[in-house]
């Protein structure tokens, strides 16, 4: 099993660390349309808003779920 698995949308990347997950199911109970442990991939990031994802990830009791902001690719058109 990988140490870290990443799932991204345009704004954030969710990082799941399966080796530290305690399987409390807080994520599944909070956002069942996103976290589906019987499916592959088990995280469907596009099924919730970025704000909903961040709020849920911040409640992960083990810290197995985290996120980082994706860099925006803004071009300067002068």
72 pLDDT band, cuts 50/70/90, is confident
- Specify the higher pLDDT residue, 17 or 1: 17
- Strand-pairing partners, residue 5, are 16
Does the pLDDT of residue 76 top 90, yes or no? no
| pLDDT recorded at residue 2 | 85
Task: For the chain, give every domain's residue range.
Answer: 5-69
Q: Which fold has domain 5-69?
A: Alpha-Beta Plaits (3.30.70)
Q: Are 14 and 53 in contact (CB under 8 A)?
A: yes
| pLDDT recorded at residue 77 | 45
In this predicted model, what pLDDT tens digit does every residue of 28-65 receive, in sequence order? 999 999 999 999 999 999 999 999 999 999 999 999 99
């Amino acid at each position: 099993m990988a140490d870290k698995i990443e799932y991204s949308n345009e704004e954030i990347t969710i990082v799941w660390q399966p080796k530290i997950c305690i399987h409390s199911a807080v994520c599944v109970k909070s956002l069942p349309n996103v976290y589906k442990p019987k499916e592959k991939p088990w995280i469907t990031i596009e099924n919730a808003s970025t704000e909903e994802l961040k709020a849920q990830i911040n409640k992960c009791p083990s810290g197995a779920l985290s996120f980082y902001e994706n860099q925006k690719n803004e071009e300067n058109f002068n």
